[in-house]
Structure 1
Amino acid sequence: MTDKTDQKLSLLALTGMVVGSMVGAGIFNLPGRYATATGPFGAIIAWCIAGTGMYMLARVFQTLAERRPDIDSGVFAYAKAGFGDYMGFLSAFGYWLGSCLGNVFYWVLIGSTLGFFFPEAFGDGSSAIAIIVSLAGIWAFHFMILRGVEQATHLNMIVTIAKIVPIIVAILAFILFFNYSQFSENFFGGVDMPEKTLLAQVRDTMLITVFVFIGIEGASVYSRFAKKRADIGAATILGFVGVTGLMVAVTLLPYATAPRSAIAGVQNPSLAGALELAVGHWGAVMISIGVLVSVLGAYLAWSLICAEVLFAAAKSQDMPKLFSAQNSNRVPANALWLTNIVVSLFVISTYWSRDAFNFMLDMTSVTALLPYLLVAGYGVLLARSGAGYEDAPGERARDQIFAWMAVIYTLFMFVAAGLKYVLLVAVLFVPRTILYFWARREQNARLFTPVELAVFGITVLAGAAGAYGLATGIITP
């Protein structure tokens, strides 16, 4: 049996978890998604908004790791500490569900990338062969993770390094072929693109920015494995700064190598198409290979995070105790089994989907917003109360400002996402509340406080509205 101390993670390993979680599929789709929405001027504004908002959220995670060292698996545990059991459950379930949808998105992208090399077999990533390959990959990772978290995190470090290399090569190539005249022509929108207000341009980039920043909490989720508690906050900030720099470069530099309309027209993964416009076919091949390595690495990281969130929720009695079981390698086996069964079912369902790629991306983004909002809200409550600030009372006002800014940013993201996705998330939440009922019954505990009952009622109404919209065709996936 592996000794507990053998699996403690260093600052480098925790930073690798953050980078590995964030650098997945999203970064390879930034050029096309941004070019469709806006030119460099709008992109700069969008990144300023997204970067500032997510930096505030990163600072909240850092602060909570320092001020509440007793809380592990912080994403949902912070929500529970601040807002009660039911909100903790919603946060845990929402984060787990969003992570599962994100893993489905990864396999769709793997299939569509293989379609670049074998178009007849893999197509857009939802063909029968693509689904069979995806299912084989899901269960190969499953049994590898069952052998131990330490082995998986070491592999994650290797894959993280490997997938950064093609991104850096692409950035250097874009710099080498940088054309100032082309960049200037694209700056305020370019030619042959529909005219939109600047506000509409920025709004249309918001969901992709949420998606590419998901994973910022990777170190916090794995806090129980940290060698030093202070490393959690440091890893979060280091990972955030490094990955943000890569994402901004990947977004802006292609505007200096080709017309915006050409970049907007390339197929996913759009970084491959954008690089092909600049350097030729070899660029697309290199990025396609990089996508496969990157997405497999991100899938590994998110499989670990999915199981860890479900396990920690069960340990804190927010999920049925069935999911708190660990095998001899201290891997939450039952949580991992449920996660991969759900991911497999969603992957199979993509066979009947018309646009699984973008739908899974946007749904993953929206499901992450509620956990982020509750974390930011708890940051506000903690700073206001002063708990944990006995040794640094002067930092309370600063941390409260950071937390309020994170709250405002997350609410803005909900508005930018639109009512459709909020209602669809509620549709998924309502029937799964049976897991909460199951857990409360195991403890002989009261189901809801009056406030929680009101929240449950609102969730049911939103779910009913979403189900009605789907049944009548008002809402389409």
Structure 2
Amino acid sequence: MAYNRPTQDSILEKKLGLTALTALVLSSMLGAGVFSLPQNMAAVASPAALLIGWAITGVGIVMLAMAMLLLTRIKPELDGGIFSYARAGFGEVMGFCSAWGYWLCAVIANVSYLVIVFSAFSFFTDTPDRVIFGDGNTWQSMIGASVLLWLVHWLVLRGVQTAAGINLLATLGKLVPLAVFVVLAIAAFNLDKFRLDFTGIELGQPVWQQVKQTMLITLWVFIGVEGAVVVSSRASNKRDVGRATMLAVLAALVVYLLVTMLSLGIIPRAELAEMRNPSMGGLMALLLGGGGHVLIAVGLLISVCGAYLSWTIMAAEVPFIAAQQGAFPRSLSKQNARQAPAASLWLTNGSVQICLILIALTHADYNTLLTIASEMILVPYLLVGLYLWKVAAGKPKVLFVAAGATIYGLWLLYASGPMHLLMSVVLYAPGLLLFLFARRGGRGTSPLHIAEKALMVLLIVAAVPAVWMLLR
């Protein structure tokens, strides 16, 4: 078997504690999204719809986090998080689809972070007559993003523990501008502005439709909730994995609620919807003067770099774990002398680099990447709830959490709409070629069942009309 395993002593030296795990999860969630959240939400929903949408998301994401917490205790032997749960519960093909979907989400999320970093730089460099970084999709942005990409690559190669320590400092750094914004927004909050067009008559859509349109945005800002579960094999105490997940989710939920609702009390929804992202910068300029933009831009840079570091760790971990279990090629299970998943990291960051070149050529923006990344995580999240349901063993409290997580997963699939589902089919189908390559010559850990083979054929066949409909 041609992959390296560290000794038990070296593993113990590299374990992550509760603080580092919590920072990993919180940093991966509190990335670029929170700074663009005011405009993103105001553009699609009224205050009434946002209150309903956040209530649904709050309950759903807490149920998902609790499902992960329970699974770390019911199945502590399953390292690798959502991939391992899908594989153990539903077979090799579903396990691969979960890993593939999650990995694609992580790659696209990393690209979006690099795009938004250089979009933030444009506040300092661009003028109406001279565009350098623009929306983070110019060739200058691509060069800068590539430098940052390979700098973080080198950092993670020095060891996950080193990267997690730096991430903890970045997490603390990003909370400062967010705290300043919340305090100033509370002082400036105007109830009359908040209640203006409370149900969104100007949007021309019923409240329930507005709620549906918030779902991928609210999901996007919570992607990363599984961070501690993904790196559970590197936790010093498995019970810390669930604790870190819950602590980070509750903290992020409070931040998101305050940022969204307080923003609607500073300026009316219609005006907020027209602001340039990161919209929190424009709001801070109103609250604090010219220095507000600078504070938020600096906070965004620290925040996104921290989130990018977290996601680089998680993105490399999934192919590494999947390769150990035969779903990805075995060559991706190699580690370097510092126990960093080197081969998987090279694949991941090489893919990010290709995407950055495509972004510079196509000029795709942050919101496009947000949609694609959010869509690819839907199936992996749904399978977490379904697997907990399968192993609940008739325990009422566990079944309640499993039902809540499963219903939330199904709601997200419904709310995302048919076109986004077609997009996910198109992206899942090519991954099956990698799966077949990994299993060539009987290298899989177990043979495929007829139902699994039928699922593979169905995905490949469905990809053809899906591509045709998307092109139309």
Aligned partner letter, 1:430: A
Give the corresponding residue for 2:194: 183
Secondary structure of the residue aligned to 2:339 is coil
Q: CA deviation at 1:444?
A: 4.0
Report the AA paired with residue 462 of structure 1. A
Are residue 152 (structure 1) and residue 163 (structure 2) matched? yes
**How many angstroms apart in 1 are the aligned matches of 2:71 and 2:415?**
27
| Equivalent pair of 1:437/1:447 in contact (CA under 8 Å) | no
Contact 1:121–1:127, Cα closer than 8 Å, also in 2: yes
The answer on whether the counterparts of 1:23 and 1:294 sit within 8 Å (CA) in structure 2 is yes
Residue 308 (structure 1) aligned with residue 317 (structure 2):
yes
What is the match of residue 397 of structure 2? Answer: 398
Residue 316 of structure 1: how far off its partner (Å): 1.3
Instruction: Indicate whether 1:86 and 2:97 are aligned.
Output: no
The code of the aligned residue for 1:314 comes to: A
Q: Is the 8 A contact 1:104 1:346 kept in 2?
A: yes
Q: How does 1:176-215 map to 2 (within 5 A)?
A: 176-189=187-200, 193-215=202-224
Q: What amino acid does structure 1 have at the position aligned with 2:43?
A: T
What is residue 144 of structure 2 aligned with on the other side? Answer: 133
- Between stretches 450-459 and 143-152, larger displacement belongs to 450-459
What is the alpha-carbon distance in structure 2 between the residues aligned to residue 281 and residue 413 of structure 1? 39
The alpha-carbon deviation at position 358 of structure 1 amounts to 1.3
The two structures, once aligned, show a CA RMSD in angstroms of: 1.6
Tell me whether 461-470 or 28-37 shows the greater mean CA deviation: 461-470
Per-residue Cα deviation, 1:283-333 (whole angstroms, up to 9, x for no partner): 222111111111111000000001111100011111110000000000110
Distance 1:217 1:121, change over 3 A: same
| Partner amino acid, structure 2, of 1:420 | M
Instruction: Give a deviation string over 1:30-88, Cα, whole Å, max 9, x none.
Output: 10011112222211100000111111111100000010010011110000000001100
Q: Matched residues in 2 for 1:105 and 1:412: separation?
A: 25
2:203 is paired with a residue whose SS is coil
CA contact (8 A) 1:31 1:274 kept: no
Letter of the structure 2 residue corresponding to residue 137 of structure 1: L
Whole-angstrom CA distance in 2 between matches of 1:183 and 1:278 = 16
CA deviation after TM superposition for structure 1 residue 461, in Å? 2.7
CA drift at 1:354 = 4.4
Q: Quick one: distance in 2 between partners of 1:341 and 1:26?
A: 24
Quick check: 1:8 aligned with 2:7?
A: no
Q: More displaced, 424-433 or 99-108?
A: 424-433
Equivalents in 1 of 2:319, 2:460: separation in Å?
23
Instruction: Check the 8 A contact 2:200/2:207 in 1, yes or no.
Output: no
User: Quick check: 1:461 aligned with 2:472?
Assistant: no
Q: CA deviation at 1:454?
A: 2.3
Moved more, 110-119 or 90-99: 110-119
Task: State the alpha-carbon separation in 2 of the partners of residues 188 and 275 from structure 1.
Answer: 26
Aligned equivalents of 1:324, 1:332: Cα separation in 2: 7
**Could you tell me how far apart the structure 1 residues matched to 2:411 and 2:431 are?**
27
The size of the alignment, in residue pairs, is 460
Q: Percent identity?
A: 37
Deviations for 1:355-387, whole angstroms, at most 9, x for unmatched residues? 43211100100101111011111011011x36x
Matched to 1:450, the amino acid is I
Residue identity in the other structure for 1:459: L
Equivalent residue, structure 2, for 1:115: 122
Q: Describe the superposition over 1:401-421 as per-residue Cα deviations: whole angstroms up to 9, x where unpaired.
A: 211121111111112111222
Query: Normalising to structure 1: TM-score of the pair?
Result: 0.93
**How many angstroms does 1:118 deviate by?**
1.4
**8 Å contact 1:320–1:442 — kept in the other structure?**
no
Structure 1 CA distance for aligned equivalents of residues 380 and 336 of structure 2: 28
For residue 259 of structure 2, the aligned residue among 250, 254, 263 is: 250
1:103 to 110, 131, 140: 110
Gapped regions of structure 2 (runs ≥ 5): 1-5
Partner residue in 1 for 2:3 = none
Alignment of 1:450 with 2:450, yes or no, is: yes
Shift of 1:134: 0.5
In the alignment, the residues of structure 2 paired with residue 52 and residue 281 of structure 1 have an alpha-carbon distance, to the nearest angstrom, of: 38
Written as runs of structure 1 = structure 2, the 5 A alignment for 1:283-432 is 283-383=292-392, 385=393, 396-432=395-431
